Amino acid sequence: MIHELPFLGKAKDGFITEGIEEYCKRLRHYTTLSVTLLKEKGKKKGRSIDPAEQEAEILLQSVPGGALVVALDAEGEQYSSEKFAILISDWEQRGIKQVSYLIGGPTGLCRSVLDRADVLLSLSKMTFTHDMARLLLLEQLYRAYTIKAGEKYHK
């Protein structure tokens, strides 16, 4: 299974970038991972486009055909790490080849992205920056794969 993570722009803090790189490195031992930094389009003169709609367009264009779309949203389903590992196993058993995880910018995801999503996932009831959500998602993916492998990281 390929886990696609299209990120809107670079993370602003170096420690988050380092954490993202570390978990990407760890995850590649277990699965195929594709992290893409998407360039945000500049505002066009004379047009007032809602930034969330602009982000939605960029994110949705990045989703490969046939991919399962997981949108991170506060209203999404919360899973324990063990249940998230089971969910990933279920996707693998169902023959899902690609999963795209979509994280919005500071204002969250536009309705069009949420409507397109196959799964709405919430990392917590707490609010995180979108950069921190990237790192937390990667850590949870890594944790899920170590759970599936029966390794000690989880404990």
pTM for the model stands at: 0.92
Tally of structural domains, the chain: 1
Q: Which residue would you say has higher pLDDT here, 41 or 151?
A: 151
In a domain, 112, yes or no: yes
Parallel, antiparallel or unpaired: strands 119-121 and 98-102: unpaired
Q: What is the pLDDT of residues 23-70, one digit of tens each?
A: 999 999 999 999 999 987 665 555 567 778 889 999 999 999 999 999
User: Looking at residue 55, which CATH number applies to its domain?
Assistant: 3.40.1280.10
In a domain, 67, yes or no: yes
Q: What is the pLDDT of residue 45?
A: 54
In a domain, 60, yes or no: yes
In a domain, 45, yes or no: no
- In terms of residue numbers, what domain contains 66? 2-39+51-154
Q: DSSP letters of 92-128?
A: HHTT--EEEEE--BTTB--HHHHHH-SEEE-S-SS--
What type of residue sits at position 53? Answer: E
Q: What is the pLDDT of residue 97?
A: 96
Q: What is the pLDDT of residues 116-135, one digit of tens each?
A: 999 999 999 999 999 999 99
Tell me which H or E stretch contains 77.
strand 68-77
CA dihedral angle for residue 98, residue 103, residue 109, residue 112, rounded to 10 degrees: -10
Residue 151 has which token pair?
């390794």
Parallel, antiparallel or unpaired: strands 2-8 and 119-121: unpaired
